[in-house]
Amino acid sequence: MSTEQLIFERGAPGRRAATLPTLDIPEQPLDSLIPAAYLRAEPAPLPEVSEIEVVRHYTHLSQRNFGVDQGFYPLGSCTMKYNPKINEDMASLPGFARLHPLEHESMTQGALQLLYELEQYLAEISGMRRVTLQPAAGAHGEITGLMIIKAYHESRGEGHRNIVLIPDGAHGTNPASATLAGYTTVELRSDARGGVDVAHLEEVLAAHDGKIAALMMTNPNTLGLFDENIVEIARRVHEAGGQLYYDGANSNAILGITRAGDMGFDVVHFNLHKTCSTPHGGGGPGAGPVGVAEHLVPFLPGPLPAQTEDGYAWEDAGPLSIGRVRANCGNFLVLVRAYTYIRFNGPDGMRHVSESAVLNANYVMRALQADYDLPYDRECMHEFVFSANRQKKRGATALDIAKRLLDFGIHPPTIYFPLVVPEAMMIEPTETETRETLDTFIAVMRQIAQEAAERPELLLEAPHDTVVGRLDQTLAARKPDLRWHTQPVQTLA
């Protein structure tokens, strides 16, 4: 039996862990300070546990969780690279961690300098003019970028441009962000080589003449393929009056090799939790800075860090700015980690990251292409997509292969995405894996391919060795149980 009790089910009435400071001021009755009507009648029914119970409980939970530090994590599109330990130490320095966001500029010169320099590094890496560090995540960056584009069109009297083009392989956040920015989306088909179908693009541009606000795109795209027609695509969209938005989710492939700006993009967002090694934290926090070309600078959210004669300062946004997209300056401690990473790697190191990521992906792809269907057989960039079609015919799906990988202590690839490939398995090894790890993965994937052909039931029953087996998603969604409820009979007092 390996169910872990909830923290609420542990402890006993009267137990507690943390202590508060000794109250060193005169005590007056609470209701003499504020009217009783504002006072909470009953304390929140939080757990009553001792410190050792807190420690054991959350340590046990950590042991029921799998991270990059435990093993290989080739989760496509998520760039699960090693998270350097020095990044964590730097983000914990009191001068960064114990800093109030509204402190006077004179008291935060180090933080402002870091933000100012990081903005410059990111502008250089992406080929953009300026960068806002406010957005908290990739999707937050997307809507920020689209709002900048919207403000730009409005400033030119072209607020009627209401269509955002999105390739069929796009991340789900792209269309969702477009809708929230008040846009209508039109999907672009992929061509036989996995890129944007330029003929279809032309048709769509003609059909919506004068209405195109932007094209959102990743390059390399979600198939891990670099779109060779990017210059042509950029030219056509610009000629139609649209702006080009670069979804930076796949930037790990191109650092120092090419830049969104060099490809013709006007706006780009970063996922620093992918490209710049800041940890994913079990789902977050991330950081999604947005860079823009010169003509879009006036629309950036403010304030922006600036260097003045007296040191560093916050510079208010101008009248054309879209305004704030969140409180304060962004996920600062994530930005500290990204800054540390860039300074550690330097220009050559950053390029070496991408080259090695591309090599590792091609190495795995070529080693396994005899065992799994490869729908687009050409050089991949930092990731690639297999289809489990062949295995499915024998009865084991991409999901079953994913679950079988768990038995080998390997995190599965992203499955069933992108939507354009049936039974998709999207594999991104990243640059921080050793050749031995890649070879082990290759051997395991070959073994699973063989099992799928000979003993598919082994896959259907997987995983065999995890603390829980496959969970009933249907039950979870039909009868949502989203919180623990106090059992009235349970109190011992």
Partner 1 sequence: MSYVPNTAAEQQEMLRAVGVETIEDLLKPISPEVRLQRALALPKALPEPDLRRLMLRMSEENADLDHYASFLGAGSYEHIIPSVVPHLYKRSEFYTSYTPYQPEISQGMLQAIYEFQTMICQITGMDVANASMYDGSTAVVEAALLAVGPAGVGDVLVSRALDPQYRATLRTYAWARGFTYREIGLEDGATSLADLEAALTPQTKAVIIQQPNFFGVLEDGRAIERLTHKTSALYVVAITEPASLGVITAPGEYGADIVAGEGQSLGSPLGYGGPALGFFASRDQFVRRLPGRLVGKTVDDRGQEGYVLTLQTREQHIRRERATSNICTNQALLALATTIYLAALGKAGFRELGVQCLRKAHYAHDRIARIAGYRPLFTHPYFDEFAIATPLPPEQLNAALRERGIIGGYDLSADYPELGDAMLFAVTEARTREDIDALVEALEEIAGTANVN
Partner 2 sequence: MANTDVPDDLKYADTHEWVRVQGDEATIGISEYAQDELGDVVYLDLPWDDAGQRELRIGDHFGDIESVKATSELFIPISGTLLRVNDALKAAPEQVNSDPYGAGWMLVVKLSDPAELAKLMDAAAYAKFLESEGH
User: Which residues of this protein are in contact with partner 2, per CB under 8 A?
Assistant: 473-474, 477-478
Q: What is the dihedral of CA 131, 132, 135, 138, to 10 degrees?
A: -10
- Residue 392, SS3 per DSSP: helix
* Amino acid in position 276: C
Q: Measured between alpha carbons, how far is 430 from 72 in angstroms, rounded to an integer?
A: 10
Residue 355 CB, shortest distance to partner 1, in Å, is 5
CA angle 282, 283, 284 (to 5 degrees): 105
Residue 476 CB, shortest distance to partner 2, in Å, is 8
Q: Please say which residue, 446 or 453, places its beta carbon nearer to partner 1.
A: 446
249 contact choice in partner 1, partner 2, none (CB below 5 to 8 Å, kind-dependent): none
Contact track, partner 1, 186-225, x by CB under 8 A: ---------------------------------------x
The verdict on 41 binding partner 1 (CB under 8 A) reads: yes
Stretch that binds partner 1, among 196-204, 290-298, 355-363, 444-452 (CB under 8 A): 355-363
Residue of 23, 381, 447, 454 lying closest to 227 (CA atoms): 381
Q: Length of the chain, please?
A: 493
Q: Measured between alpha carbons, how far is 287 from 273 in angstroms, rounded to an integer?
A: 6
Interacting residues with partner 1 between 328 and 347 (CB under 8 A) = 328-334, 336, 340, 342-347
Q: Please say which residue, 294 or 393, places its beta carbon nearer to partner 1.
A: 294
Q: Please say which residue, 381 or 393, places its beta carbon nearer to partner 1.
A: 381
- 235: DSSP letter: H
Q: Please say which residue, 34 or 468, places its beta carbon nearer to partner 2.
A: 468
Q: Measured between alpha carbons, how far is 235 from 241 in angstroms, rounded to an integer?
A: 10
Q: Please say which residue, 201 or 398, places its beta carbon nearer to partner 2.
A: 398
99 contact choice in partner 1, partner 2, none (CB below 5 to 8 Å, kind-dependent): partner 1
317 contact choice in partner 1, partner 2, none (CB below 5 to 8 Å, kind-dependent): none
**Residues with Cβ < 8 Å from 73, sequence gap 6 or more?**
66, 67, 80, 411, 430
Q: Please say which residue, 393 or 464, places its beta carbon nearer to partner 1.
A: 464
207 contact choice in partner 2, partner 1, none (CB below 5 to 8 Å, kind-dependent): none
Q: Measured between alpha carbons, how far is 271 from 258 in angstroms, rounded to an integer?
A: 17
Q: Please say which residue, 161 or 411, places its beta carbon nearer to partner 1.
A: 411
Q: Is the dihedral of CA 406, 408, 410, 414 positive or negative?
A: negative
355 contact choice in partner 1, partner 2, none (CB below 5 to 8 Å, kind-dependent): partner 1
Cβ–Cβ < 8 Å for 187, 168? yes
Q: Measured between alpha carbons, how far is 311 from 106 in angstroms, rounded to an integer?
A: 8
Residue 225 CB, shortest distance to partner 1, in Å, is 7
Q: Please say which residue, 64 or 295, places its beta carbon nearer to partner 1.
A: 64
> Residue 414's beta-bridge partner residues?
426
The verdict on 315 binding partner 1 (CB under 8 A) reads: no
The verdict on 493 binding partner 1 (CB under 8 A) reads: no
Choosing from 199, 315, 434, 447, the residue that interacts with partner 1 (CB under 8 A) is 434
**Residues with Cβ < 8 Å from 339, sequence gap 6 or more?**
114, 117, 118, 121
The verdict on 319 binding partner 1 (CB under 8 A) reads: no
The verdict on 157 binding partner 1 (CB under 8 A) reads: no
Cβ–Cβ < 8 Å for 197, 205? no
Choosing from 473, 487, 489, 490, the residue that interacts with partner 1 (CB under 8 A) is 473
Cβ–Cβ < 8 Å for 184, 138? no
